[in-house]
Structure 1
Amino acid sequence: MASIGLLLRFARRYFWGHKSTQAIQLISWVSVLAIAVGTAALIIVLSVFNGFEDLVKSLYSSFYPTLRVIPARGPVFQVTPSQLQGIRQIAGVKAVSETVEAKASIRYNNQQIIAVVKGVDSAYTHVTGLKDKLVEGVFALGTPQVPGAVVGIGIASALGVDLQNPLYPLWVYVPNPHVATFLNPEQALRVGSLMPQGIFAIQEEFDDRYIITRIDAMRQLLLLPEDAVSALEINTGDRASLAEVGRQIQHILGPDVVVKTRYEQNETLYHVMQTEKWVVYAILSFILVIAAFNMIGALSMLVIDKQQDIAILRAMGATEKLIRRIFLSTGLWIAFTGAAIGVGLALLLCIGQQHYGWIKLGGHSFVIDAYPVSLKGQDFVLVVMTVAIIAALASYLPAHRAGSRQLDLKSLRS
């Protein structure tokens, strides 16, 4: 059985060595260039998708907790102090926050909008990063007598919220849950007021939808008992097993709740992002397939050029399998030469984009001004494996023809 070293020596000699015509060398280098471009394009595009995915995850992690417990049925469920204490004592749980939220009509200075008002407790800043996303004011939720509010920038813009003007509170209107008929409009709605204290900016999905206030103010407005919550939001350590923590929470609270991870809270978004990434990967892989046609041409011409070498190898006792492996190795040499150039080019461009932001995003409404890039080792492994598979398939036909040729050294010399 031929050693790898022997096959590599043949491959290197056939790629770099003298050929009877310059066309073979030219086509070989065109194949290398095409593979290099395809490899670099795949790595760069996958890295950009990784960058956008990491950006979206960081934005969503500012609002969504690691784990969220919601009722299996209905808008709220009840949790006892002993159950809360049991959840806090689970290994890996860093903080637990109770929240109550409901859709409401919001009125401010003759402007009106529909929003989700979310009441939170003092632990909320330990389970999300919302406090770090303020663009104006402070994260202050006021007192039970005068509850405050932190407003999404989209809502603040639509209502014209002025934090410096204490004369205009946010008026909150929610349906009265104890009224079955709406014959008396004054009894059909419950009204509360919130003093705006800060404005946050994360992403339009949150900025245009949410107002954050005190949980006791929401319970009073919705006429809920003190142990009622819309959700429990939980922060876990980086090394905590989410599956195990979720199982223990489910055991404490019973079957009437559903425990969701951050991925499950945004499953559709993450699924769409992954689908887009792999569709683009499949499309760009056709660049490598096109490069493979050049390889087939280059190797086929090389087989014709090296007929005398094949005949000599035959005379020395080389088997068809050995000759096939020699030309297969030559095709892989061409492919990996192109892949190495492509990987180097991709690293240069991606690292440059990370440090200098060469390619900018259009417009001025983005949280970043340049395309984000995130290099991941598994992408490099995937692309190199893709190159190897395509190169092996492209090299097989010329290699098979070389191995099956029955050449006579005397006839070639004559």
Structure 2
Amino acid sequence: MSFESFIALRYLRARSKQTFISVISVISILGVALGVASLIVVLGVMNGFTKDLRDKILGVNAHAITMSVSGPFADFEKTMQTVLQVPGVVGATPFIYSEVMISGSGGVKGLVLRGVDPDTAESVLSIREHMEDGGFVRLKEDGMPGIIIGKELAQRLGAGIGSRVNLLSPSGTRTSTGFTPRVRNLRVVGLFKTGMWEYDSSLGFVSLQSARELLGWEEELVTGLEMTVQDVYRADKVAEDVSAALGGYPFYSRNWMEMNANLFAALKLEKTAMGIILTLIVLVGSFSIVTTLVMLVMEKTRDIAILMSMGATRRQVRRIFMLQGTIIGAVGTCLGFALGLAAAYLLKQYQFIELPKGVYSLDKLPVLIEWIDLLIIGVSAMLLCFVATIYPARQAAGLQPVEALRYE
């Protein structure tokens, strides 16, 4: 152990007349620890929220879609074969999109209707992982056409597996008595729960044929093609390649990042803002270190003068107090890591915080700890604590031994 480290550790030990300074040291450690723990938990929640939201969005929606500016188009199988040959595309499926009304024994609700191909939908949409009962394959069963709906919607309609529901399409037919909307009877063959209220309460899947019959399409038209790509973060580049392979107009492609750009930009901004705000807690703890060291310098003026008289250099004296502040910061940072990681683990393991349904897009508070965030938090906390030691250490090194001992 070096001379500076030995003196710094001795100064940190409390004696009866230095109890007040020791209390301030403990408060400084707790201030840094609370700031670090808060940063770990909050950034972990923000990371978990972003990842969970992304996974659930990509579970219901594809990584990219291709549509036509002229509306629904036919001969989609040829178009799909061209899309599947684009590098990076690992799956494609046709879809039909519409908004209808759904009714059951429990009431009526607006529904976002998605017509899918039961044979290829599972290769693109990962919503099968959120299925609580049934699946896309049951949309092909003979008899009454089937529909897959969210569990929240099923509870509102008073429906379950095998229940009968009615779909009403706004694109009706004109008769001699006026405009008559199309109504179709369907049987619930699947229930899913993603944890996102918007999807679980207002989304339904039917087969392509059922969607065409409800919308009154006589030809085999589709709204567009959904694609899954090998790397979700290169979906924008793959979407551009798909548009180029299809020859551009009238086809155009969009990716999940583009369609949800505002949402993820807002989440990134919130994470940055929360990080800055909580860093101020660490800053407050570092100011406490300044107070502790300044008071210690005043208390140890005589000791510092004696050390310098015995041959200690100003650099060594400066190092003593910088080491003392750094030790306080290191202990506070380590304690903060222990508290923050423990709290994050408990929050992730037991999910004891539930979010109100209909207010937030998720029903649980997710947590994801990223090592890069831990590294940034640790380095930032230690840097702030080190900077806080500079002024008191310089003041201690600037003492004149003769002046300090004159009245002793």
Same-fold call, TM cutoff 0.5: yes
1:106 to 98, 102, 106: 102
Q: Does 1:194 align with 2:186?
A: yes
Q: 1:356-403 CA deviation, whole Å, 9 max, x = no partner?
A: x28453789999997543222122112213312332342233233234
Q: Percent identity?
A: 23
Q: Does 1:116 align with 2:108?
A: no
292 and 102 in structure 1: CA distance in 2 versus 1, 3 angstrom threshold: same
- Check conservation: 2:80, 2:225, Cα contact below 8 A: no
Distance 1:109 1:371 in 2: 33
36 and 94 in structure 1: CA distance in 2 versus 1, 3 angstrom threshold: same
Aligned to 2:260: 266
Aligned to 1:84: 80
Aligned letter for 1:280?
A: M
User: Gapped runs of 5+ residues in structure 1?
Assistant: none
10 and 65 in structure 1: CA distance in 2 versus 1, 3 angstrom threshold: farther
Q: CA deviation at 1:188?
A: 5.8
For 1:4-403, what aligned pairs fall within 5 Å after superposition? 11-16=8-13, 21-71=18-68, 73=69, 75-76=71-72, 80-108=76-104, 111-121=107-117, 122-139=119-136, 140-142=138-140, 146-161=144-159, 163-164=161-162, 168=164, 170-176=166-172, 186=178, 189-202=181-194, 203-222=196-215, 224=217, 228-238=221-231, 241-253=234-246, 254=248, 256-308=250-302, 310-311=304-305, 312-313=307-308, 316=311, 318=313, 323-355=317-349, 357=350, 359-361=352-354, 371-403=365-397
Q: CA deviation at 1:64?
A: 1.9
Three-state SS of the structure 1 residue aligned to 2:139 is: coil
User: Gapped runs of 5+ residues in structure 2?
Assistant: none
Distance 1:75 1:325 in 2: 73
Using structure 1 for the length normalisation, give the TM-score: 0.80
Distance 2:44 2:51 in 1: 10
- Check conservation: 2:47, 2:367, Cα contact below 8 A: yes
Three-state SS of the structure 1 residue aligned to 2:86 is: coil
Q: CA deviation at 1:47?
A: 2.2
Using structure 2 for the length normalisation, give the TM-score: 0.81
Q: 1:108-158 CA deviation, whole Å, 9 max, x = no partner?
A: 469543322211112111212223333344432236985321123343334
Distance 1:331 1:78 in 2: 72
Q: CA deviation at 1:192?
A: 4.2
Three-state SS of the structure 2 residue aligned to 1:279 is: helix
Q: CA deviation at 1:39?
A: 1.6
Distance 1:227 1:237 in 2: 29
Q: CA deviation at 1:162?
A: 5.0
Pairwise CA RMSD: 3.9
Distance 1:403 1:70 in 2: 72
